[in-house]
Structure 1
Amino acid sequence: STSTHAWLADHVVSGAVIVPGAALVELAVRAGDEVGASRVRELTVGAPLVLPESGAVRVQVRVGAADETGTRVVAVHSQSEGDPEADWVRHAEGVLEPASADEPGVGEWPPVGASEVDVAGWYPALAERGLSYGPVFRGLRRVWTGGDEVFAEVVLPDEVAGDAAGFG
């Protein structure tokens, strides 16, 4: 709920407070940490996790049994806290796998040959499309493109940077 996680109120889509997709990824990664499969191979968002104006929702992350390679399915569901008989809604599902010791590191920054993109009008343009981001979600500083890849420099605003240690 926004009463326990006030920063979520800064993520508004078409007038509704929506849990960001990155938070769904964080939930999957954290659940994967518990079972030795913290690399997200795939995560598909099927329905937005809308937070009610009052009250809260229960969130459940389910991780399946590992196959012979250690791969597991993961799903994120929610249910209205005020109605324990309500159906659980699936918001995301995907695949977790064990992290590899040879994960690529960050190379030269910004990447060689990447072209910088002007982001000065980014947030006003998003607002015109119904995506209203408050200060907590305005961390995008610079963006580059190269081939079919996008690279971004994102900074947590000072008012929430101290809380970052509590997340993966």
Structure 2
Amino acid sequence: MLTGRLSVEAQPWLADHVVLGRILMPGTGLVEMALAAGEAAGCATVEELTLAAPLVLPESGGLQVRVVVGPHTDARRTVAVYSRPENAGDAQWTAHASGFLTETAVVAAAEWGEWPPVGAEVLSVEAAYEVFRERGYGYGPVF
């Protein structure tokens, strides 16, 4: 089990990921936590990770976080990511993600080939962040 604390004060870059007015831990962050726990347990790969609930960060204060790796079963281990408000006493842990870790490294199945593909059309993305903002997504400079 790995434990830690997340907060906007300690990790200000997290405030750069806002969805519908709430600061969310990006899904890739949950993958990174699972991968770190897997590496500590001798597993090189996150085989699968299913997101169950968003990890919403408070604007002040923080969250206790724990990543739990289960025992070996069929050449893989389970992994789960949980959080709860800090200083919450015996408050329930919220499950945010669960999945499987393996000891086997992933090997690329195929090559990408020519990029961009023949006939691809270049599209402007200059207005993309404005469109995201209009739809409730706030991405700061880190994103």
TM-score (norm 2): 0.84
Given the superposition, is the C-alpha separation of residues 26 and 116 from structure 1 closer, same or farther in structure 2, using an over 3 Å criterion?
farther
Give 5+ residue unaligned stretches, structure 1: 138-168
For the 8 Å contact 1:74–1:94, the answer to whether it is kept is yes
For the 8 Å contact 1:55–1:82, the answer to whether it is kept is no
Give 5+ residue unaligned stretches, structure 2: 1-6
Aligned: 1:62 with 2:72: no
Give the superposed CA RMSD: 2.1
In structure 2, the residue corresponding to 1:110 is in which secondary structure? coil
Given the superposition, is the C-alpha separation of residues 42 and 85 from structure 1 closer, same or farther in structure 2, using an over 3 Å criterion?
same
Identity %: 44
> Could you list the runs of 4 or more consecutive aligned residues of structure 1 that deviate by over 3 angstroms after TM superposition?
105-109, 111-117
Given the superposition, is the C-alpha separation of residues 106 and 54 from structure 1 closer, same or farther in structure 2, using an over 3 Å criterion?
farther
Paired residue for 1:103, among 101, 104, 107? 107
1:60-81 CA distance string (max 9 Å, x none): 0001111132x11110000110
Q: Which amino acid aligns with 1:78?
A: S
TM-score (norm 1): 0.72
Tell me the number of residue pairs that the alignment of Structure 1 and Structure 2 aligns.
135
In structure 2, the residue corresponding to 1:135 is in which secondary structure? coil
Query: Relative contact order (alpha carbons < 8 A, sep ≥ 6): 1 or 2 greater?
Result: 2
1:142 corresponding residue in structure 2: none
